[in-house]
Amino acid sequence: MPDLRKDPIVGRWVIIASARAKRPHDFDTSPVRQKGRFCPFCEGNEHATPDEILAYRKPGSTPNREGWRVRVIPNKFPALEIEGELNKRGEGIYDTMRGVGAHEVIIESPDHLVSTSELSEEQLREVLWVYRDRLVDLKKDPRFVYGMIFKNVGAAAGASLEHTHSQLIVTPIVPINVWEEMTGSLEFYNYRGRCVYCDMIQQELATEKRVVLDTPGFLAFSPFAGRFPFETWILPKTHSSHYENIRKSEVDELSGVLRQVIAKVESALDQPAYNYIIHTATFDTQELSHYHWHIEIIPSLTKTAGFEWGTGFYINPVPPEQAAAFLREIEVESREQQNIPTRETG
């Protein structure tokens, strides 16, 4: 008998269809990693991209030339454009505005790596710092209210380039999913006086069955009402609503947690395409007691079909407890002490 489970934050129900249960190797996850073609994101090819907005580079090196470790550029085909006013208006019963916003690409390595799991923890730390720097900068623009950082790896997850990169889209309105998370968690807070995410951390630590990785500062677990097989969330244990307020000690630790969790998912599922998304509070708020930033990791294993599009109700064929048990057991090496030579030092 399948289970129906309700997401305690947005109220979305999920069907956990154990009768359809799948072992990790039952999913078709054609690896999507072809090396060899010209890559505009590789070091030395800076001329092939728009000019950089920010880069962490070797002292004395020249912008838009070699010598960088992490590099941020405008998206060449932006979904939203940075210049201009919003011009909000009606068109009969419809509402519209100009597509003003920011759409940036964060190139995470000068080398042609293809996944977060291939970065050293030191490299990933710099990526996490770049995320923060860009949010802090863009939040100063009064036209913008939200910044969404996400990463698509593999064609099935929507990536069009292979070289490891993330994206930042900054929007002039609050996206509906963010609004639902923020109001859902506010309702919980108003009713119980606690942050729903803090409650989840407590309950997951107490029951242990959905825990994937537990470190002093972070908890990675399979959410009770996960929409997708092997969906995994990473939460900071210390309450905080805005990613951009992350502390240095948290960045130091998160780089290891994020890399290990992704390496576990990749090992379990034979290098699937995946997305990760940083869920954080809106720009126009100060620290909030009811909202808690976190990272959601979604392997691309299932097709979204008519039922999901119509209902917003997901069918997850892998009970989160099974996914967590599986991921928990997988050993992954730390890349903390490997001291990988980089172009800069080598």
Q: Which amino acids are annotated catalytic? A: 165
Q: Is 306 in the site for a second copy (CB under 8 A)?
A: yes
Radius of gyration of the chain (CA): 20
Separation between Cα atoms, residue 312 and residue 297, nearest integer Å: 19
Closer of 53 and 298 to a second copy (Cβ): 298
Site for a second copy in 136-155 (CB under 8 A): 146, 148, 150-152, 155
**Residue among 61, 62, 311, 334 that touches a second copy (CB under 8 A):** 311
Q: Binding marks (x or -) toward a second copy, 174..213, rule CB under 8 A?
A: -xxxx-x---------------x--xx--x--xx------
φ, ψ (nearest 5 deg) of residue 154: 95, 150
Say if residues 119 and 164 touch (Cβ distance below 8 Å).
Answer: yes
Burial of 212 (0-12, 13-18, 19+ CB in 10 A): buried
In single-letter form, the type of residue at position 55 comes to: A
Nearest by Cα to 239 from 277, 195, 203: 195
- Least separation, in Å, of the C-beta of 95 and a second copy? 4
- Count of residues of this chain found to bind a second copy when the rule CB under 8 A is applied: 78
- Find the shortest distance in angstroms from Cβ 290 to a second copy: 14
337 binds a second copy (CB under 8 A): no
* HSE, side-chain direction, 13 A CA sphere, residue 303: 3
- 94 near a second copy (CB under 8 A): yes
Name 71's bridge partners.
Answer: 55, 107
Does position 21 interact with a second copy (CB under 8 A)? The reply is no
Q: Which window, 80-88, 127-135, 283-291, 324-332, contacts a second copy (CB under 8 A)? A: 80-88
Task: Choose, by CB under 8 A, the member of 32, 173, 186, 332 that binds a second copy.
Answer: 173
